[in-house]
A and B are shown apart, each in its own frame.
Chain A
Amino acid sequence: LAKTTQPISMDSYEGQEVNITCSHNNIATNDYITWYQQFPSQGPRFIIQGYKTKVTNEVASLFIPADRKSSTLSLPRVSLSDTAVYYCLVVGEYGNKLVFGAGTILRVKS
């Protein structure tokens, strides 16, 4: 599974749009990009997953360029409750093993 690199931390203010970029240079053809959110002392929670171009759900958008070597998670109008660690993962076609990196600590301020 491809290794991912993302910023260690980011700060934002309530109401702003937050974009977290992740690089995954060695992504394989059949790999998907998945993002999870984790609050302290809780299990990670699935946010969004995509293969290419753009995916949007009620929580976030995921932008994946044509070469798929990076992806950007976009959180519209963040609130204090979005303060969490965000993990970018590359998941393979087979198996449920998730390989987590260090994640990005997002701090939203008022």
Chain B
Amino acid sequence: KAGVTQTPRYLIKTRGQQVTLSCSPISGHRSVSWYQQTPGQGLQFLFEYFSETQRNKGNFPGRFSGRQFSNSRSEMNVSTLELGDSALYLCASSPGLSASTDTQYFGPGTRLTVL
């Protein structure tokens, strides 16, 4: 099976712009989660979607949003970009509802640089 794919892999934006990142989960997986990784804050949970519904949300401002489509593909959007949004954005997919029973598989990430 193909792994989790994320596009684009690298992105450069300027402050105030908005950005949309895409994630295609492993075939058959219905859960998609998003994480932000920065040197200062480490890996932080953004949100989780299952069957097009947001099930869980991390402690991020409303500028960060996401959605999931009927084919389980997911997008996340960041509006009004700030310098501090520069990070590696990671997507993870899993087949079911619980991390205690279903392994999560991470994609390679999208490296976002905000200038």
Q: Known: A43-B106, A46-B104. Contact between A100 and B99, CB under 8 A?
A: no
Asked whether any CB of chain A lies closer than 8 Å to the CB of B75, the reply is no
B102 touching A96 by the CB < 8 A rule? yes
Name B102's closest neighbour in chain A (CB-CB): A96
A103 touching B42 by the CB < 8 A rule? yes
Inside 8 A of A98's CB, which chain B residues have their CB?
A: 33, 35, 43, 45, 92, 99, 104
* A69-110 interface code vs B (CB 8 A; 1 in, 0 out): 000000000000000000100011111111111110000000
Residues of B at the A interface (CB closer than 8 Å) are: 4, 31, 33, 35, 42-45, 48, 50, 55-56, 58, 88, 90-92, 94, 97-100, 102-109, 111
Supplied contacts A30-B100, A98-B99, 18 more A-B pairs, CB within 8 Å? A32-B99, A41-B108, A41-B111, A42-B109, A43-B106, A44-B106, A46-B103, A49-B103, A91-B98, A93-B100, A94-B98, A95-B48, A96-B104, A97-B48, A98-B45, A98-B104, A99-B45, A100-B42
**Cβ contacts A to B, 28 pairs, < 8 Å:** A30-B100, A31-B100, A32-B99, A32-B100, A34-B99, A42-B109, A43-B4, A43-B109, A46-B103, A46-B105, A87-B43, A91-B98, A91-B100, A92-B98, A92-B99, A94-B98, A95-B98, A95-B99, A96-B56, A96-B98, A96-B99, A96-B102, A97-B33, A97-B45, A98-B43, A100-B43, A101-B42, A102-B42
The A-B contact count (CB < 8 A) is: 80
Name B109's closest neighbour in chain A (CB-CB): A43
